[in-house]
Amino acid sequence: MAHVRGYAPIKVLPGSMRACQIIEYNRPHQIRRIPTPDTLKPHDILLKVAVSALCHSDLEYQNGTLDCTLPVTASHEGTGVVIAKGDAVTWFIIGDRIMAGQTFDRCGECDDCKGPENYQHYCEHQGPMMSTERNGAFQEYLVVDARQACRIPDKMSFLTAAPLACAGITIWRALLQTELKPGQWLAIIGSGGGLGHLGVQFAKAQGLNVIGTDARDDGISLSREVGADLVLDARLGKEEVVREVFKATGGRGVDATITVSDAKAATATACAITRRHGIMVYVPVGHEVCIPYQDIIFRDIRVKGSFLCSPKEAEEMLDVVVKHNIKVSSSVFHGIEEIPKVVDMLRQGKYQGKGVIVIDEDAVKREQGQL
């Protein structure tokens, strides 16, 4: 399935395409017809979008909490099939199934670009990211920087890959940031959400002991379902969570904590349950972070941020998903026209897991052998 038979280079595209866009802040997304991309830079590829996913941060763009240039097509979690490519792209071929990257046009000259491979997506001179100042994946055709994209493994579907394009890569790199070894303890604050349930499974695949906390009944259930060793109800309060964590870890606390919840109390709880000299990795966007100075100074808790991941790290993550049969919890919807409703459902917490939207029904049927 990495190369889908029946696809050939497409030289003539329709002049316009359907897209779901943010037109103004704090207003519903709108379905519009916009021009189809007709120009590729040397390192670009053009995808016929198959499946895209909705991220919690898409709500922050809609609210204006995170800046974007309007109008803009939403979603930075996209998959599709290569139908055209720039002259410099030699590692992908027409028909490849691709998980899109979010960053574009790294300079190649700054310290990050010349540093380790897993620093390059931090390029200080890179171009606008998908769904901020350039259109995202809730449209029929999508331009992607091939240097930041990944080929989808043969045994993985578009429906599985789309949510991994942000949620998967983000929690995977956060896990790498902890630098834990098999047998050590990890806590995930918000373990039953779109990122958290993947983090639990990734951590178990690496041989870690995992404690999950969540403040929702379905999140608690999902945390248990995906294999957390201990699941705590965050609604019991910080003191009770701390007590239970220290009881489970022999009085030490966990070796590292990943915070994916944006609740105000989350970071304080994360630091409190982490052992002295341990690591707390913070992931959420759009809000100020409040961390008790006592934990940083007197307990030497080290705080790290984590942003997406590099293409090599993303490929490793995809391999882990296949090898360990990682479950991606999602609710599947069909058609661009459904997206405004799905956004409202996400805001109201009316579906479980990631919201996944099929853009190209034929592409999904083709990989399922129905066409």
Q: Tens of pLDDT along 102-149? A: 777 888 889 988 888 888 888 888 887 888 888 999 999 999 999 999
> Structure pTM?
0.91
Residue 36: predicted pLDDT: 94
CA distances (Å), origin 231, targets 146, 178, 213, 329:
40, 20, 6, 18
Q: How are beta strands 97-99 and 77-85 bridged, if at all?
A: antiparallel
The reported pLDDT for the residue numbered 286 is 66
CA distance 51 to 361: 9
Residue showing tokens 């578009």: 158
Residue 1: its pLDDT value, please?
A: 34
Q: What is residue 185's predicted lDDT score, i.e. its pLDDT? A: 99
Question: How high is the pLDDT of residue 124?
Answer: 86
Tokens of 23: 């037109």
- Residue 12's contacts (CB-CB under 8 Å, 6 or more residues apart) are none
Name the stretches of the chain with pLDDT < 50: 1-9
Domains and CATH numbers, the chain: 16-165+329-368 (3.90.180.10), 171-305 (3.40.50.720)
- End-to-end Cα separation, the chain, in angstroms: 13
Q: For position 121, what pLDDT does the model report?
A: 84
The residues facing 272 across adjacent strands are none
The region, left, alpha or beta by phi > 0 then psi within -120 to 50, assigned to residue 70 is beta
Query: What is the structure's pLDDT at 59?
Result: 84
